[in-house]
């Protein structure tokens, strides 16, 4: 059964109807300042299309990981302000999720108006393991839209979660896939179908354990798997090298030995690293061979020779997927590995996908041209689970409708 889309909903007519949109507005904050508004910008097209067609748009989203209760540190207030500025129209923030304020704000929406409900994770039922509790919240969210309401799933970064505003509400309201979700799925199908070769994957981040499933899923399918970030040190330890005080998952060493044996030369590790005597931006640093990290020193970025080797491999690729920074890019002395690899991907003629999360943030923080990449995903976890071959509940439920 084909998933119904935003185009289908607009074709039915939305003028005067309340449409609930699940967006992914989980942006990084410095206090109340948004440091990367990429996800807000990604949510704009669907919201704008609905508003321009005369819908009363009710947006629900989460921010951070509050403990199922209101917490001002995780209020969506800064997001409402930024969303309004980008839309060029006021976005009213309801002071609660489905309570009296939400009902008042939604009830007062004019055609083409946009309201944002407060952080849906302030309600413990959103992430409850009880299907009945989630269904109860989903019913209250649906009730906000009235008898002719509809639901648009456009938060790709959360479709791998079986949560009330992602999964359960799609079983209550007529449900449609938003443009962002459709675009993300189209890109991922390209990666998992018959990608143009050579197909090169770049994986970074801190832990092998976080990426184990995707490594195992991708190894048989890729031509090169370039590994950087903190996770590389567990692989180096598996080869018998000392890694000093670098991040090491001792319980994953045997797994890494197995992966290296199975890779048959596909898996490429750094040849040099930027080592520091402390985890700090003002630490003493030196470039050393990846096999020669002294005791008391820790690797915090890949080195210049590794950047050259990775760039050479990327220049030959026809398809590239990148997920995870090459080092602690938030600190200037350890940002050049991520910058160099990202620039090599941008310079490559390959179909290139940045797999969300820290990688997408790094592109923007380091000032790299976003149009140098074919696609920058908004959902790191969702992208990885799709590539692992897992079912995404928030997508699967869209197939259940009539």
Q: Which residues are catalytic?
A: 39, 207, 357, 381
The CA distance from 127 to 163, in Å, is 5
DSSP codes joined into one string, 243-299: -TTS---GGGHHHHHHHHHHHTT-EE--SEEEEESSSSTTS-EEEEETT-PPTT-EE
Q: Torsion over CA of 169, 172, 175 and 178, rounded to 10 degrees? A: -20
Tokens of 346: 């941008």
Would you say 56 is a known binding-site residue?
no
219 is in an annotated binding site: no
Would the annotation count 336 as a binding residue? Answer: no
Residue 359 annotated as lining a ligand binding site: yes
The reply to whether 358 sits in an annotated binding site is yes
24 is in an annotated binding site: yes
Q: Is 196 annotated as a binding residue?
A: no
Is 303 a known ligand-binding residue?
no
CA pair distance 366, 373, nearest whole angstrom: 14
384 is in an annotated binding site: no
121 marked as binding residue: yes
Annotated binding residue 211: yes
Q: What is the rounded distance in angstroms from the CA atom of residue 139 to the CA atom of residue 133?
A: 10
Distances (CA, A) of 153 to 16, 87, 316, 387, 396: 20, 19, 37, 20, 11
Ligand-binding site membership of 330 (annotated)? yes
How far apart CA 93 and CA 211 sit, in angstroms, is: 37
| 241 in a known ligand binding site | no
357 is in an annotated binding site: yes
Q: Is 100 annotated as contributing to ligand binding? A: no
Provide the pairing of β-strand 267-268 with 224-227.
parallel
| C-alpha Rg value of the chain to the nearest Å | 22
3-class secondary structure, 306:
helix
Closest CA to 144 of 17, 275, 297: 17
Instruction: Tell me whether residue 323 is annotated as binding.
Output: no
CA distances from 78 to 27, 29, 31, 207, 350 (A): 10, 9, 10, 31, 37
Binding site residues, as ranges?
24-26, 39, 62-65, 121, 161, 211, 299, 330, 356-359
Binding site residues for substrate, as ranges?
24-26, 39, 62-65, 121, 161
Binding site residues for ATP, as ranges?
211, 299, 330, 356-359
């Amino acid at each position: 059964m084909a998933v119904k889309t935003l185009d289908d909903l607009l074709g039915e007519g939305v003028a005067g109807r309340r449409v609930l949109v699940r967006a992914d507005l989980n942006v990084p904050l410095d206090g109340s300042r948004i440091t990367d508004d990429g996800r807000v910008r990604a949510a704009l097209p669907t919201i704008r299309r609905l508003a321009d067609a005369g819908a009363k748009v009710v947006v629900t989203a989460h921010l951070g990981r509050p403990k199922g209760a209101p917490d001002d540190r995780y209020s969506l207030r800064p997001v409402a302000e930024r969303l309004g500025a980008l839309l060029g129209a006021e976005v009213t923030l309801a002071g609660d999720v489905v309570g009296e304020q939400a009902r008042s704000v939604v009830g007062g929406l004019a055609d083409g108006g946009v309201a944002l409900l407060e952080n849906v994770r302030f309600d413990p039922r959103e992430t409850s393991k009880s299907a009945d509790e989630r269904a109860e919240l989903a019913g209250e969210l649906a009730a906000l839209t009235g008898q002719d309401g509809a639901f648009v799933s456009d938060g790709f970064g959360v479709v791998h979660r079986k949560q009330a505003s992602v999964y359960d509400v799609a079983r209550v309201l007529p449900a449609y896939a938003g443009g962002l979700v459709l675009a993300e799925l189209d890109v991922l199908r390209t990666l998992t179908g018959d990608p143009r070769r050579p197909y090169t994957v770049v994986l970074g981040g801190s832990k092998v354990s976080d990426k184990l499933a995707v490594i195992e899923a991708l190894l048989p399918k890729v031509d090169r798997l370039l590994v950087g970030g903190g996770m590389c040190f567990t692989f180096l330890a598996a080869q018998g090298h000392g890694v000093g005080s670098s991040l090491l998952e001792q319980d994953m060493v045997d797994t890494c030995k197995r992966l290296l044996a199975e890779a048959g030369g596909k898996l490429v590790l750094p040849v040099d690293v930027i080592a520091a005597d402390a985890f700090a931006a003002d630490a003493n640093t030196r470039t050393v061979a990846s096999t020669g990290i002294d005791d008391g020193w820790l690797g915090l970025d890949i080195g210049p020779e590794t950047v050259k080797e990775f760039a050479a491999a990327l220049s030959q690729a026809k398809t590239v997927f990148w997920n995870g920074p090459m080092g602690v890019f938030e600190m200037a002395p350890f940002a050049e590995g991520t910058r160099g690899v990202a620039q090599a991907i941008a310079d490559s003629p390959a179909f290139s996908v940045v797999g969300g999360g820290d990688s997408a943030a790094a592109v923007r923080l380091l000032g790299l041209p976003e149009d140098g990449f074919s696609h920058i995903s908004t959902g790191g976890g969702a992208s990885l689970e799709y590539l692992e071959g897992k079912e995404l509940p928030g997508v699967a439920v869209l197939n259940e409708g009539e």
